[in-house]
Structures are given as C-alpha cells and as structure tokens.
C-alpha cells in the first residue's frame, strides 16, 4: 500500500495520511495534490511517501488527483521548511502554505503562468544581412535573436530595438517561432543547491559586467577578498556605517558567483523604499534581476518564482518571503539592513527572514552575508563570539564625511507645533545655502489625539486602549490600532464643551507648519498616508532628487536605506518617548533609528548635521550614542543584556492570548498554568496584560517564557504545545506562540 503524508493549510501540528490510488503513478514529494478533507476538496502538498500509517489503512481516504506532474517544492526547500516549522514551533501545513505563492494555493497549474517566448529558427539563424537588405529594421531585430536565441514577451516589451510589429513579421517569415519554455521545471524534486562541481563553465567577467566596478578601498578589499575565497557556507557580518560602500562589497562578492552561473538572493526590508538598490544591481550585471515584494500581482510573482527554478545566473532581490523561492542553483545569500524588524513576520507563521536566510545559506552550503550600519545585537554578538566572520567598514567611501550630532534641549523652550527656535534657525540656514533638510517624526496624521480643553476628555477608540489620531487632510479620526474611523467631534462627549483641541504632532501638522514658515520652499512628505496611491512614492523620490532647496518630512519610511544626497540637515523631532520605554529592546531600536536617519545626511559633498530635540539631553544612553557611536553603545548594551540575562544571552518565547471577554482568557490560564509550572529551567513571566491591553475589541494577555538554553525551551515547548492545543479552554480563545519575539506589544 502506498501512502502519502500530505501538508494541508490547517493549524494542526501534523501531516495527513492518504492512500495513493493505482491510477496515480507519478506521485512524488513536493507535488501538489487535491484531497478530500471533511466534505471539501482541498489542495495539499505531498510531504512524505511511506508504506505505513498509524491509522487503519483501509479507512484512509484516497488522493483525488495531482494538480500537475511536477513537484512544486524542491528538496532543499522542503528541508528549510521542516527546519523552520520545528524552530519556530509552527504547524507544518501552515508553514508550507506560507511558502507557496498565492497563485499556487489554488488548483491551478504552474504552466498557466509560463508566458510564451520566441526562439530563433534554423532559417532565422542562417539568414544573412544580404537577404534582408530591403528590411533594415527586420535585420536589426533578427540580429538580436541571432545573438540571444530567445526572448520572452516581457523582455521584448522592455527592449528598445524590438517592437511587436517586427516580431510579427519575423514570425510570418518563419525566422522565429513561439514556444513555451519548460526548461528547469521538470524533475526539480531532485534539484539541489549548487554544489561546487555542478557547473564548471565560467563566464568571463567582461561578458558579465555592463557597469564599471569601483576601485575598492582597503576595508572593502579585505572583505571582498576573504568572501571570494569561499564557495561554501561562510557566514559574515558586514558592519559598515551608512555610505561606507557595503553595496559595492556585495556587488563585487557576487561577481565570481554569477560567473559560475549561480543565483544570488538578496533580502531587503522594503524594496519600494530603496529602488536605487535594484537599479544598482541591474546596472552592474548582464543577468536577470528579479524582484519579489508585496506590490507584485500573482502573474508578476509567478514570473520571479519560475525564474528561480531556472538554473541560470540571476539575482533575486526581495522582501522576507523571497526566502521561499524555489532556487535551483543558489550561490550566495545576502541580507541587507539585517537589523530591520520588518524581516520578522508578525502574524501567522512568525518567522525571522534573517534567521531563515542563515539557515538557507548553511543548507545550501554557500556564503551568507548580513549587512548593516547598525547590526542587531544578536548578529553583533555572533560576530564578536566569532560565529560569524566580521568585516568592518568604519569610513565613508567616496568623499563624504559622517554627520555631526547635536542635541536641542527642549526644556523651557517655546515650541511652534513641535519645532523649536534653534531648529527653525538651522533649517533657515540650510535652505539659504540651497541644501535639503530632512525632518523625522514617527507619527503620521495631524495629531495623535483631540482633547477637551475644559475637562480633559480624549477621543478614545471604543475597541482599543488607544486614542483616535486626527487626520486633517481626510477630515477623519482614525484608530491606528484597529483602523476604525469616526467623524471629528465638535462637542466634548463628557461635558458638552466645544473647546476641543488637537494635542501633539504628526507629520501632517509638521508639513502644515513648515508651509507657513517656509512658503517658498517645496516640501515633500513621505509616510503611509502620502504614499498610498500607486506611483506617489516614486514621484516623491523623483522630486527629492531634483536639485535645489527642499524640506522632506516623514516617518520610519525615511530611515530605510534610501540615499538623499543633497540633505545636509537631519532633525529628529521626538525621541523622548523611546528613551523611557518598558521594552528591553527600546534603546537598541532607538539607537538604530537615530543612526539610520542620521545616515541619510551629508552623503554628497557637504558635511551633514543631525539635530535631536529632547527634554533629556543628558540621558546617558543618548550621550553615549552621540559621543561614542553606535558600536560603543551596542557593546555596552550587550554587556547589560548579559548581566540581566536577556537575549541574545537567553531565549524567549511569548504566548499571546486574546478573546472578546476576559473570563475566557482567565479560564485558559487556569488550565495552562499548571502545565507551565512543570517546565524545568524556564522562567515564567506572567500572565500579564499586553502593553496594548485591548485592540479591535479583543482583550490581550501574554506569558513570556525565558530559558538560558535554546534547547531547554524548544524541547519542552514541543511537548507542551499539543497539550495546550487539546485543552477545552484553548478553543474558546485565540492564542499563538512567538519564538524569539521582537515585539512585546
Ligand atoms: P552603503 O551600502 O554602505 O550605504 P554604498 O555602497 O551605497 O554604501 O556606497 C556609498 C557611496 O559611495 C555610493 O555612491 C558609492 O558609489 C560610493 N562608493 C562605494 N565604494 C566606493 C569606492 N571604493 N570608491 C569610490 N566610491 C565608492
Ligand atoms: Zn469636556
Ligand atoms: Zn481601535
């Protein structure tokens, strides 16, 4: 009897056994199938093939059909997903389905997404210029085919010298023919990552490069030389200040690997924010540069996904889920801005893209680079403990010098809607020199609340422990926790007064006050509201890259890797809330943010200046950061974490629970706690209400588990989770486990 163990998208920690009927002779692991489940037909993935089942074989249902002949997942992917399910303690079926592109979660064949391409025929290949004397344009087009053999429809669309009209006439004359390219798609359940002997033809460098390489400085050269000597797993931290030339190190490190015909994966926190990175890779190499991010539709995603299956030299630049692409010949993994929290998925299968990238590099046995100007304490600790090779780029490449830091003591100062006089003076002086100014405030909207001036009543969201944010442009109150909206109140709901005023500032308000103060200066605001429409972010970046004075106002989105070469003054309007925050990672995050935002300044010829508005200019953390820099700060921070036994010197898992009513949560804890109390060598903190105790109408509680050894935690959790799952009270609440949580809210 043949039995398939099938992964289904269900929150259950197991595979599902099905019999393979005699008419299905091609069943293989990694292949998508349709199976009966309850009274439904569902798409699943064959994860194991076996002859045994712990269920009575005769009672097992049969697989209904295979979606297609080939496997969707290759063995290396399956190995990575198995590891991830175990490490992050998440049900395998949900892990597998997180890794599937949406298009393939349905009963739809991969073939449907393979767009046709055109291939030169023997006739076309043997046709000479003489024979096409009268058709110069056609000859020109045919020459491209003689050189490149095939072109996909997408390539033709982007090609300056190939038009649809020419393709049509080449087709009519039989010089080219249409075909569907299935190469790389068959038998890939056997494909492995590139092994060093799989491909021994090497493309000469001049054929690979289309852009010039820069002459490396000493630090860059040391890194590139060391990395290039390794084709096997070689984890390295590239710790370089902003503008130090990390990207150039990546570009030159991957050159020999591309020359061997291999693929490169580059993970970035958010691609939309750094289109320059994609451009730099595309301009350097004569290979396909594929992108992967949430802005793509199913067809575009599948194009990248299919490209990963083809064993051709190519580059894949994507956000965290690009880790799941079906690479056939991976040669290097790079995680840029590795400190960025958006590499961690915060819902469903909560994986960390960086940790998975390191595991992928290890499984594929290829060099794996993590880069940042502000490395996470975790990676820094790994580098200091020599688990990672460590390369430092302490100087800016090119001519620019790092910015200088200054604090503005807000105590007693008059503020004009959040802007102090010394700041306004500094802005004026930069604008006078026709330079750009960047103001950072991590709060969108006009004001974070509206308050009654008579009695202090605040517009609180009824569904959350939070206030509505006042959005002036859209004339709404919006809760940033649950997205609920309400009209602007005109009367206090407690005392009836109409004396209602906004409190605090958001980016909208800063933009407004700047428009009053600097009526002749163009202002660009970049936040999630201002960039909601398609193309608006690109338009904003284009404006910024126009020479001339300008003020840029924005949120977090400005901190992510973008270059603003004309910016010479950066101001961070409010850092105080983060200086006194309960989260043990708050200082690390604040230091990263300040350093990253500051790194946007002075990248051109003029030195940059960073102004920090604060009521606590003497705060020791702040002083250490601005006097001694991020690395000094981070080392002190790591010492402190070691003394207090916090990550990375201990390991955390967070159980989060939410429900519409508190008794259900109490009932759950009453059943769970006795089991937790039996764990050994694990510290249990809680249950306590989450910092945001109520969100979207649900009450939220949590229990933090802490252990000195990861194994202690992992092994006991693996036993405990099925027990919790089987508790009756666990079905009356929603709960999940977050391994290595980075957000304790
Ligand atoms: P990072 O990725 O560390 O922020 P980049 O690679 O973007 O730094 O480099 C910053 C700037 O310095 C870029 O304009 C880049 O072209 C330039 N640059 C990098 N390396 C060199 C070099 N070796 N010589 C001259 N300019 C360089
Ligand atoms: Zn009132
Ligand atoms: Zn709300």
Residue 38: give its domain's CATH number: 3.40.1440.60
Ligand 1: does its nearest atom lie under 6 Å from the Cβ of 395? Answer: no
Q: How many residues does the chain have?
A: 745
Which residue stretches of 604-676 are H helix?
620-643, 662-676
Give the CATH number, domain containing residue 722. 3.30.70.600
Q: Which ligand has an atom closest to residue 484 CA?
A: 3
Question: Average pLDDT by consecutive 10-residue portion of the chain (745 residues)?
Answer: 93 94 93 95 97 87 94 96 97 97 93 83 91 88 90 80 88 87 53 47 85 93 97 97 93 96 94 82 93 91 92 94 96 97 94 98 98 97 97 87 91 94 96 94 94 94 92 94 93 95 95 96 94 87 88 90 86 89 89 92 79 95 94 95 95 96 96 95 94 93 96 95 94 95 84
Which of 180, 204, 233 corresponds to the end of one domain? Answer: 180
Best residue among 397, 400, 545, 596 to mutate for probing ligand 1's pocket (most ligand atoms within 8 Å of CB) is: 397
What is the distance between the alpha carbons of residues 568 and 404, in angstroms, rounded to a whole number? 10
Ligand 1 atom 21: the closest Cα is on which residue? 397
Tally of CB atoms within 10 A around 195 = 12
Are 424 and 320 found together in one domain? no
Ligand 1: does its nearest atom lie under 6 Å from the Cβ of 596? Answer: no
Q: Please give the backbone phi and psi of residue 20, each rounded to the nearest 5 degrees, phi first.
A: -95, 115
Tell me, yes or no, whether 478 lies in a domain: no
Tell me, yes or no, whether 76 lies in a domain: yes
Contact 194, 76 (CB under 8 A): no
Ligand 1: does its nearest atom lie under 6 Å from the Cβ of 692? Answer: no
Are 143 and 158 found together in one domain? yes
Are 88 and 148 found together in one domain? no
Are 667 and 626 found together in one domain? no
The residues pairing with 318 across neighbouring beta strands, listed in sequence order, are 267, 292
Contact 72, 110 (CB under 8 A): yes
pLDDT (0 to 100) of residue 185: 62
Tell me, yes or no, whether 128 lies in a domain: yes
Dihedral (Cα; 336, 341, 343, 347), 10-degree rounding:
-170
What is the distance between the alpha carbons of residues 80 and 248, in angstroms, rounded to a whole number? 29
Contact 343, 353 (CB under 8 A): yes
Question: What would the two tokens of residue 96 be?
Answer: 């597998």
For the entire predicted model, the pTM comes to: 0.89
Please confirm whether the linkage preceding 661 is cis (ω < 30° from 0): no
Ligand 1 atom 9: the closest Cα is on which residue? 245
How many whole angstroms from 664 Cα to the centroid of ligand 3?
21
Question: What would the two tokens of residue 516 be?
Answer: 């009053």
How many whole angstroms from 556 Cα to the centroid of ligand 3?
21
Write the CA distances from 683 to 544, 678, 742, integer angstroms: 51, 11, 18
What is the distance between the alpha carbons of residues 331 and 308, in angstroms, rounded to a whole number? 12
Ligand 1: does its nearest atom lie under 6 Å from the Cβ of 430? Answer: no
Are 212 and 74 found together in one domain? no
What 3-state DSSP class applies to 610? strand
How many whole angstroms from 724 Cα to the centroid of ligand 3?
30
Are 123 and 221 found together in one domain? no
Name residues with Cβ closer than 5 Å to ligand 3, which is an ion. 461, 463-464, 479, 481-482, 484
What is the distance between the alpha carbons of residues 171 and 179, in angstroms, rounded to a whole number? 12
pLDDT (0 to 100) of residue 696: 93
pLDDT (0 to 100) of residue 188: 44
Contact 668, 728 (CB under 8 A): no
Tell me, yes or no, whether 188 lies in a domain: no
Are 668 and 636 found together in one domain? no
Contact 486, 468 (CB under 8 A): yes
What is the distance between the alpha carbons of residues 117 and 404, in angstroms, rounded to a whole number? 54
Best residue among 212, 222, 248, 254 to mutate for probing ligand 1's pocket (most ligand atoms within 8 Å of CB) is: 248
pLDDT (0 to 100) of residue 697: 93
Q: Which ligand has an atom closest to residue 277 CA?
A: 1
CA angle (624 as vertex; 618, 626 as ends), nearest 5? 85
Tokens 């490169």 locate to 264
Ligand 1: does its nearest atom lie under 6 Å from the Cβ of 221? Answer: no
Task: Give the burial string for 611-642 (b: 16+ CB within 10 Å, else e).
Answer: bbbbebbebebbebbbeebbbebbebbbeebe
Best residue among 218, 241, 243 to mutate for probing ligand 1's pocket (most ligand atoms within 8 Å of CB) is: 243
What is the distance between the alpha carbons of residues 141 and 139, in angstroms, rounded to a whole number? 5
Tell me, yes or no, whether 285 lies in a domain: yes
Residue 292, C-beta contacts closer than 8 angstroms, at least 6 positions apart: 301, 304, 316, 317, 318, 319, 321, 322, 325
Ligand 1: does its nearest atom lie under 6 Å from the Cβ of 397? Answer: yes
Tell me, yes or no, whether 560 lies in a domain: yes
Ligand 1: does its nearest atom lie under 6 Å from the Cβ of 398? Answer: yes
Domain count, the chain: 5
Are 291 and 234 found together in one domain? yes
Which residue stretches of 173-329 are H helix?
205-208, 218-228, 246-259, 275-284, 298-309
By CB atoms closer than 10 A (0-12, 13-18, 19+), residue 492 is: buried
By CB atoms closer than 10 A (0-12, 13-18, 19+), residue 508 is: buried
Give the CATH number, domain containing residue 365. 3.40.50.300
Residue 610, C-beta contacts closer than 8 angstroms, at least 6 positions apart: 403, 404, 405, 406, 569, 570, 571, 572, 594, 597, 598, 601
Which of 108, 139, 165 corresponds to the end of one domain? Answer: 108
Write the CA distances from 425 to 102, 422, 600, integer angstroms: 52, 5, 21
How many whole angstroms from 526 Cα to the centroid of ligand 3?
24
Taking the mean position of all CA atoms in its chain, how far away is CA 209? 28
Tell me, yes or no, whether 495 lies in a domain: no
For residue 702, give its domain range: 651-739
Which of 640, 664, 687 corresponds to the end of one domain? Answer: 640
Contact 608, 573 (CB under 8 A): no
Contact 418, 408 (CB under 8 A): no
What is the distance between the alpha carbons of residues 151 and 181, in angstroms, rounded to a whole number? 10
Tell me, yes or no, whether 466 lies in a domain: no
- Give, as one character, the DSSP assignment of residue 324: G
What is the distance between the alpha carbons of residues 278 and 322, in angstroms, rounded to a whole number? 14
Q: Residue 123, CB half-sphere, CA atoms under 13 Å: how many?
A: 10
Best residue among 245, 565, 604, 605 to mutate for probing ligand 1's pocket (most ligand atoms within 8 Å of CB) is: 245
Are 11 and 104 found together in one domain? yes
- Give, as one character, the DSSP assignment of residue 172: H
């Amino acid at each position: 009897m043949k039995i398939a163990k099938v992964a289904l998208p269900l929150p259950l920690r197991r595979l599902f056994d099905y019999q393979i009927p005699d008419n299905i002779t091609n069943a293989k692991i990694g292949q998508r199938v349709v199976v009966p489940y309850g009274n439904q037909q569902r798409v699943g993935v064959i994860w194991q093939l076996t002859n045994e089942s712990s269920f009575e074989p005769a009672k097992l249902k049969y697989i209904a059909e295979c979606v297609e002949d080939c496997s969707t997942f290759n063995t290396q992917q399956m190995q990575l997903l198995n590891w991830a399910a175990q490490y992050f303690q998440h049900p395998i079926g949900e892990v597998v389905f997180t890794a599937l592109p949406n298009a393939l979660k349905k009963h739809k064949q991969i073939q449907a997404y393979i767009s046709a391409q055109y291939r030169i025929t023997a006739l076309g290949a043997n046709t000479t210029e003489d024979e096409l004397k009268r058709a110069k344009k056609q000859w020109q087009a045919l020459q491209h085919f003689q050189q490149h053999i095939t072109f996909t429809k997408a390539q033709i669309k982007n090609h300056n010298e190939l038009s649809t009209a020419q393709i049509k006439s080449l087709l009519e004359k039989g010089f080219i023919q249409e075909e569907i390219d299935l190469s790389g798609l068959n038998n890939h359940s056997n494909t492995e990552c590139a092994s060093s002997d799989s491909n021994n033809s090497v493309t000469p460098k001049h054929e690979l490069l289309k852009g010039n390489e820069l002459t490396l400085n000493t630090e860059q050269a040391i890194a590139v030389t060391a990395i290039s000597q390794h084709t096997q797993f070689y984890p390295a931290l590239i710790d370089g200040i902003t503008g130090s030339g990390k990207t150039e190190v990546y570009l030159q490190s991957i050159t020999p690997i591309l020359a061997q015909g291999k693929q490169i994966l580059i993970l970035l926190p958010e691609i939309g924010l750094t289109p320059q990175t994609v451009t730099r890779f595309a301009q350097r190499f004569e290979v396909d540069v594929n992108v992967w991010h949430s802005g793509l539709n199913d067809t575009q995603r599948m194009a990248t996904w299919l490209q990963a299956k083809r064993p051709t030299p190519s580059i894949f630049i994507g956000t965290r889920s690009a880790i799941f692409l079906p690479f056939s010949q991976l040669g290097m993994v790079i995680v840029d801005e590795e400190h960025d929290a958006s590499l961690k998925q915060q819902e469903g299968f909560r994986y960390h893209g960086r940790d998975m990238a390191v595991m992928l590099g290890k499984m594929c046995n290829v060099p794996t680079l993590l880069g940042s100007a502000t490395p996470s304490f975790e990676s820094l600790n790994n580098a200091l403990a020599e688990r990672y090779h460590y390369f430092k780029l302490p100087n800016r490449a090119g001519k620019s010098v790092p910015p200088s830091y200054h604090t503005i003591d807000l105590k007693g100062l008059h503020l004009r809607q959040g802007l102090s006089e010394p700041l306004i003076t500094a802005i004026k002086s930069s604008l006078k020199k026709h330079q750009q100014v960047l103001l950072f405030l991590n709060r969108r909207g006009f004001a974070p609340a509206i308050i009654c001036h008579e009695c202090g009543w605040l517009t609180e969201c009824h569904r959350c422990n939070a206030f509505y944010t006042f959005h002036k442009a859209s004339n709404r109150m919006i809760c940033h926790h649950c997205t609920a909206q309400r009209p602007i109140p005109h009367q206090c709901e407690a005392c009836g007064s109409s004396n209602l005023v906004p409190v605090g500032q958001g980016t909208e308000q800063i933009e407004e006050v700047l428009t009053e103060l600097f009526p002749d200066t163009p202002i660009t605001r970049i936040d999630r509201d201002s960039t909601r429409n398609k193309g608006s972010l690109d338009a904003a970046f284009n404006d910024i890259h126009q020479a001339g004075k300008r003020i840029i106002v924005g949120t977090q989105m400005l901190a992510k890797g973008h270059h603003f070469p004309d910016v010479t003054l950066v101001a961070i309007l409010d850092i105080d809330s983060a200086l006194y925050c309960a989260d043990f990672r708050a200082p690390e995050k604040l230091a990263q943010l300040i350093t990253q935002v500051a790194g946007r300044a002075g990248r051109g010829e003029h030195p940059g200046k960073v102004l920090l508005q604060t009521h606590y200019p003497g705060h020791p953390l702040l002083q250490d950061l601005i006097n001694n820099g991020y690395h000094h700060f981070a080392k002190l921070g790591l010492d402190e974490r070691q003394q207090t036994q916090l990550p990375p010197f201990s390991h955390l898992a967070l159980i989060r629970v939410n429900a519409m009513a508190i008794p259900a949560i109490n009932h759950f804890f009453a059943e769970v706690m006795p089991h937790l109390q039996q764990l050994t060598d694990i510290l249990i903190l809680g249950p306590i209400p989450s910092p945001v105790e109520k969100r979207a109408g649900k009450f939220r509680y949590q229990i933090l588990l802490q252990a000195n050894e990861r194994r202690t935690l992992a092994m006991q959790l693996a036993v405990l989770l099925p027990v919790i799952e089987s508790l009756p009270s666990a079905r009356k609440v929603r709960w999940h486990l977050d391994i290595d949580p980075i957000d304790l809210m």
